[in-house]
Structure 1
Amino acid sequence: MIQMLSAVKEIGRLVIESEGRQLLEVLVEDPNSNGNYKKVIAIVFEKLNEEIKFCGVELEDYESSKIMKYLYRSGAANGADLTPSAKLAKDPGGTFDRKILGWFSILDKRDIKITGEEREFLASIREQLEKNAETIKNEIYRIRNEIPGKTGIFITLKIKEGNKTSYIGDFEVFKKLLIYQVNEKDKRCAASNKVCSICGEKKPVVIGNLNTYAFYTLDKPGYITGGFREDEAWKNFPVCFDCKLALEEGKKYVEQYLSFSFCGIRYYLIPKFIVGVENVSEEILDIFRSSSKLISLRSRVIKSITRDEEDILYYLKDVKDVITVNFLFLQKMNAAERILLLIEDVFPSRIRKIFDAKECIDEIFKDDFTFATVRNFFSKSDPNKKNYDLDGYFLDIVDRIFKNRPVSYHFVLQFMMKKIRSEFVNDNNFYRAVRDGLMVLTFLEKLKLIKMEEKSMEERLFDDLFKKYGSAFETPVKRGLFLLGALAELLLRKQFKERGAKPFIKSLKSLKMDEKDFKALLPKIQNKLEEYDSFDKGKRMLAKEISHYLLSEKEGWNMSVDEMNFYFAAGMNLVDEVAKIIYPEEKPEEISVQQ
């Protein structure tokens, strides 16, 4: 975790240096960072000489150019933010009371260092807010009810003086108090002359209540050394002020420009410069410190392994191994954040191998393989469920692929067959599901993450077809089951051609057949083909090969039901490739039947 935070900090440092950001620019947050807060309610005051007077509530569009004028920085969920600007919650009146009017309770503190004139200015605004509270809240309710619920609303203050209109960010007193509150919060959990856990340097002051990421908190026993003594908590994760500011800027940059979708799951791509920035080319540095260049790059990337067209992994695969990337899958739940998965230190060379395997699969299957193909089997345990409940399994496989760790062949096969059977029984996308399953297994085999059993076999008729799929078919029984599936599919197509139905499909037992069932299936298929006068030379060749392979295997195939039925289903799916071999010059009429 420290490594990941150090990487975020380094990004922030690069941005601060390249863009010359000042302290306030780092501290201030964009209220519309998620793109939902597009409307702004401004509580408007008029300043005549030194008198402040409330004059109404206005609705305006959010403007990114006014971020420093809005001067927003979030605070406690149930208390005031660090300035009198706030996001409108479900209870608009409560937002006004706690976040806007509630902020002015800062005037009750004796130690705030502001001038008498500044105190009087703030007290006048507070008095007008209290006096006109009901009018303001009624207007806020009215506006909220008139705007669609999905559109977020942000509230701030606006002061007019003659022809000049100012926001709170235009007044030094609000800026001063923002910095004051940040410093006061940090001082509650600090120590002097200690080593920062991020930069590794001894600093005059380090703090222990870092809240840049909400998965680190001091209100739970597990985070505090010695129990709930907050004054000792700096020992858990001491951070200096320089690293804290860089970390905050880095987080904002990562969330805005390095946020991507991984098959529907949001993640952050965080680069780490493993040999120091002085050994990294300017071209690479520019990508991660220049938002305009990063946006330009994202618009050019078209090949994706994650199904996100803006994902820059395709570009990073060709970078030298002077950087690594971290994948942070973070789930936000209200004010808290939960790490779903953190994949650390993935080298560009590993990303390149993954893309090489993808391109190989694309060529074999004439299709576009992405992690979405894997996701098809690891999304919902029941297709009727509303929510995705297999994210943990899917992300574990993603982690293993990027970190080059073995994947359980039988575990993956279990989930693939569950979906394949469901599609088969419900007569949905059975052939697509089988094809996806073959692509996944071949992809994992190309990356050497699963090991297929291999046995020496004499050369036979379908060798070229089997070699096309690597070691997936390198045992006699797998080849026999595959070809048996192809023969069964030819029978089903013949039945559909003749009768408009596939009655033999009941004999396939919803793809839950065992070894005994498969051994009895070949004669059944042959007899049915004879009945349809369709057991021609090509199918006899196919039946001969099936018999050879199944009889070559010793009694007791040592395969799970899932595995046996998968290879059988694969043969059903790839029957057209089998047909090209047994019917090199012509096709029987059932081959042309649509699947």
Structure 2
Amino acid sequence: MLAAVKEIGRLRIEQRGLSHLEVLVEDPNSTGNYGKVIAIVLEEVNDDEWNFKGIELEDYDETKIMKYLYRSGAANGADLTPTAKLSGKPEGTFDRKILGWFNILDERGLQISQQDKVFLSQVRKQLDLNANYIKKEILRIRDETPNKIGILVTLKFRQNDQVRYVGDFPIFTTLLMYQVDKKNEKCAAKDKVCSICGAKKDLVIGNLDTYAFYTLDKIGYITGGFRENDAWKNFPVCRECKLALDEGKKYIEKHLTFRFCGIEYNLIPKFIVGAEMIPDEILDIFANTSKLVSLKQEVIDRITTDEDDILYYLKDIKDVIALNFLFLKKINAAERILLLIEDVFPSRLRRIFDAKYKTDEIFASKFTFGSIRSFFSKSDPNKRDYDLDGYFLDVVDRVFKDRPVSYHFLLQFIMKKVRHEFVNDGYFYQAVRDGLMTIYFLQKLGLIEMEEEVMEERVFDGLFKKYGPAFETPLKRGLFLLGALTELLLRKQYKERGAKPFMKNLKSLKMNESDFKGLLPKVQNKLEEYNAFDKGKRILAREAANYILLAQDKWQMPVDELNFYFAAGMNMVDEVAKIIYPDEKPEEIQIQE
């Protein structure tokens, strides 16, 4: 994965002719959240003498990225320049990030000119003398600005008729490079092989900080018994590769970051035959992602629920690239990998989309992974956080890597959702439909195996064959038809009484074998009481009884699966009605439609 990130960064550096400094400098508004800038203004009053002049609020300007010269540092320390993002405690940001940056002047052996030292000392003195006023103004601006708008704090200098920022002074760029080199050399080795490019280099770095999921402050990450001098052996990276990694990550975060049913991921392409051999039209997909996904007038088929889904554009290209899906969770300054799916080829995407199209056709609806996500979001609907992300991502991983999915494991979560919607009079029919679509989709990909038996031809064969192997056993068909018959009774009750008292017999869809065997005569008797046991319902009851009898005794099926097929029949009763009522339909069905 990191080799792929590095390759993207290398291409960017070569295509745009980026300097070392341009790669190091970060865009503080890369997420689009930082729209305002607090400028602490200093003015030159005499030659080489500076005074504090006040605080100004201005809009963030993307053309000034190199002027802001932002480069993040330690979470609890100063950044690498006196430009910082305003944190939860605004006054603390000034003390730690802005004024605290000038503590670099106290380092022994700092080699800068006397003129630069005097300049920085004067700026430091002015900030220190006016610290209370500056912090009050920062706090006031923060309070007056909507919380959703992030704020950047930087220094602004007025010199004669010129306005200059941090990046306009060579001393700030020099000290930025100095701090980066100092950090890199703290854990390094000379004349060693880089683990990414495979070449022997004069210096390799061992404390790579491009991604925050790699760290050297835990025993498990350090080779040789926690000896920091040997830590470089874990992950030696040369300076050129580190620079390319930094640029690659910046590009991916800005242009190749999407959401998969609410979970953010980075899409990292890996060029199998080398980027130079890849056709321009394929490279354009990644280079112009923002342009592609902004074409709202073009209706595309999406497999995720993200409006900016790029996978539709990638499915039809040749297998000259492989895709890595990095699901990364950021917690403050740390990053935790939720899931890494490596080496997914466009041909696999095509198979997934083909299965989606077949599912869409059968159910006359648009299937996405959102249907699966509806079952793997929260273990309790009242919870604030989504605690089933791991289960959902495991299913996603299995779909993309062509690995089997446990049918009974899946059914547990489907039925949990279906029961909740049924008991709370919620979106019961949609939940059942999502479950059926999910199972059909996974069947089409060959990820779920269904039991099949040879049966004689009956009335509803056409309906069952439409949905493939899902209904190829007598018990599943019998439960399905019993569910449809029960739904017709509930509709009749609601039409006559405005309520569905028979629902209490369904035991919140937790019925076992004996419950189902006793349910059919109860439904028939109740329909007789309403004088509604017409020819169509008699056919339905007869077919349900036939399949249940064929299943014989000792049903080898979990309770979740029993109730799912019953609920499926309730959900799809209108398709059943088309068969048993080819001409005139009963009034309760007409009203429902």
The root-mean-square deviation of aligned C-alpha atoms, in Å, is 1.2
2:35 pairs with one of 38, 50, 60: 38
The aligned counterpart of 1:530 is: 528
Letter in 1 for 2:275: V
Q: Quick one: which amino acid aligns to residue 33 of structure 2?
A: N
1:20 correspondence with 2:41: no
| 2:77 alignment partner AA | G
**One of 281, 293, 301 as aligned partner of 1:298:** 293
Pairing of 1:219-238 with structure 2 (within 5 A): 219-238=217-236
Tell me, yes or no, if the aligned pair for 2:285 and 2:313 is still in contact at 8 Å.
no
How many residue pairs align between the two structures?
589
State the AA in 1 paired with 2:61.
E
- Counterparts of 2:494 and 2:19, CA distance in 1: 74
Residues 440-483 of structure 1: CA deviation (Å, up to 9, x unaligned): 11111111101000001111111110111111000011011101
What is the rounded CA distance, in whole Å, between the counterparts of 1:382 and 1:592 in structure 2? 37
Tell me the secondary structure at the aligned position of residue 192 of structure 1: strand
Of 143-152 and 401-410, more deviation after overlay is shown by 143-152
Which range is displaced more, 268-277 or 209-218?
268-277
Q: Deviations over 1:377-432 (max 9, x none)?
A: 11111111111111111111111111111000000101111111111111111111
Given that 1:361 and 1:439 are in contact with CA atoms closer than 8 Å, whether structure 2 keeps it comes out as yes
Q: Which residue of 1 aligns with 2:254?
A: 256
Using the TM superposition, name which of 144-153 and 366-375 deviates more: 144-153
**How much does 1:250 deviate?**
0.5
Listed one character per residue, the Cα deviations across residues 90-149 of structure 1 (whole Å, up to 9, x for unaligned) are 222221111111111212224333222222211111121122222222222222222223
Structure 1 segment 461-540 matched on structure 2, within 5 A = 461-540=459-538
- Displacement of 1:489 in angstroms is 0.7
Q: Which amino acid counterpart does residue 591 of structure 2 have in structure 1?
A: V
Alignment-derived partner of residue 271 in structure 1: 269
Rounded Cα–Cα distance in structure 2 between residues aligned with 1:502 and 1:144: 56
> 1: distance between equivalents of 2:138 and 2:541?
77
CA distance in 2, matches of 1:334, 1:184: 24
Q: What amino acid does structure 1 have at the position aligned with 2:203?
A: V
Instruction: Answer whether contact 1:488 1:525 (CA < 8 A) is retained.
Output: yes
Mapped partners of 1:584, 1:436: distance in 2 = 27
Instruction: Trace 1:81-92 onto structure 2 (pairs within 5 A).
Output: 81-92=79-90
Q: Is the 8 A contact 1:207 1:234 kept in 2?
A: yes
Counterpart selection for 1:401 from 394, 399, 409: 399
**How much has 1:172 moved relative to structure 2?**
0.8
Which residue of 313, 317, 324 maps to 2:311?
Answer: 313
Structure 1 counterpart of 2:213, which letter?
A: F
Distance 1:111 1:360 in 2: 70
Partner of 2:581: 583
| In structure 2, distance between residues paired with 1:315 and 1:61 | 35
Structure 2 counterpart of 1:382: 380
Q: For residues 170-189 of structure 1, what are the structure 2 equivalents within 5 Å?
A: 170-189=168-187
Structure 2 Cα separation of the partners of residues 260 and 16 of structure 1: 23
Aligned to 2:3: 6
Contact 1:484 1:546 in 2 (8 A): yes
Alpha-carbon contact 1:303-1:309 (below 8 Å) kept? no
Q: 2:345 aligns with which of 344, 347, 351?
A: 347
In structure 2, how many angstroms separate the alpha carbons of the residues matched to 1:548 and 1:94? Answer: 76
- Which position in structure 1 is the counterpart of 2:26? 29
Alignment of 1:143-154 (within 5 A): 143-154=141-152
Task: Give the residue type in structure 2 aligned to 1:296.
Answer: K
- 3-state secondary structure, aligned to 1:332: strand
1:322-341 correspondence to structure 2 within 5 Å: 322-341=320-339
Q: Which amino acid aligns with 1:445?
A: Q
What pairs with 1:121-160 in structure 2 (closer than 5 Å)? 121-160=119-158
Greater mean deviation of Cα atoms: 147-156 or 537-546: 147-156
State the 1:586 CA deviation: 1.3
The CA distance in 2 between the partners of 1:117 and 1:220, in whole Å, is 42
Question: Is the CA contact 2:192–2:203 (under 8 Å) kept in the aligned structure 1?
Answer: yes
1:94 is matched with which residue? 92
Q: Is the 8 A contact 1:260 1:268 kept in 2?
A: yes
Distance 2:142 2:457 in 1: 75
Aligned partner of 2:554 in structure 1 is 556
Superposed displacement of residue 512, structure 1: 1.0
Aligned equivalents of 1:420, 1:174: Cα separation in 2: 61
Q: Distance in 2 between matches of 1:287 and 1:416?
A: 36
**What is the 5 A alignment of 1:373-452?**
373-452=371-450
TM-score, normalized by length of structure 2?
Answer: 0.97
AA aligned opposite 1:299: S
Does residue 455 of the first structure (1) align with residue 450 of the second (2)?
no
Contact 1:188 1:231 in 2 (8 A): no
Distance 2:528 2:329 in 1: 59
**How many Å separate the matches in 1 of 2:521 and 2:75?**
71
Structure 1 counterpart of 2:62, from 61, 64, 88: 64
Q: Secondary structure at the match of 2:337?
A: strand
8 A contact 1:323–1:347 mirrored in 2: yes
1:118 pairs with 2:113: no
- Taking structure 1 as reference, are residues 151 and 299 closer, same or farther at Cα in structure 2, changes over 3 Å only? closer
SS at match of 2:224: coil
Moved more, 143-152 or 515-524: 143-152
Q: CA deviation at 1:275?
A: 2.1
Contact 1:75–1:81 (Cα < 8 Å) also in 2: yes
1:13-41 CA-partner distances (Å, limit 9, x unpaired): 11111111111110001111222221111
Cα separation, 2, equivalents of 1:456 and 1:92 = 72
For residues 190 and 342 of structure 2, the distance between their equivalents in structure 1, rounded to whole angstroms, comes to 32
Paired residues of 2:475 and 2:547 also in contact (CA < 8 A):
yes
TM-score normalised over the length of structure 1: 0.97
What 5-or-longer segments of structure 1 have no aligned partner?
A: none
In 1, the alpha carbon distance for the partners of 2:356 and 2:4 equals: 28
The answer on whether the counterparts of 2:205 and 2:237 sit within 8 Å (CA) in structure 1 is: yes
Contact in 2 for aligned 1:318/1:349 (Cα 8 Å) = yes
C-alpha displacement of 1:201 = 1.2
Shift of 1:499: 1.4
Please give the alpha-carbon distance, in whole angstroms, between the structure 2 residues aligned to 1:335 and 1:565. Answer: 46
Mapped to 1, the partners of 2:369 and 2:127 lie a distance apart of 54
Look up the equivalent residue of 1:507 and give its one-letter code. N
| 8 Å Cα contact 1:493/1:593 also seen in 2 | no
The separation in 1 between residues aligned to 2:144 and 2:428, in whole angstroms, is 48
Which sections of structure 2, spanning at least 5 residues, go unmatched?
none
Secondary structure in structure 1 of the residue aligned to 2:225: coil
Q: Secondary structure at the match of 1:56?
A: strand
Q: Report how far residue 278 of structure 1 moved.
A: 3.1
Give aligned-pair identity as a percent: 70
SS across alignment from 1:227: helix
Aligned to 1:226, the other structure's residue is in SS state helix
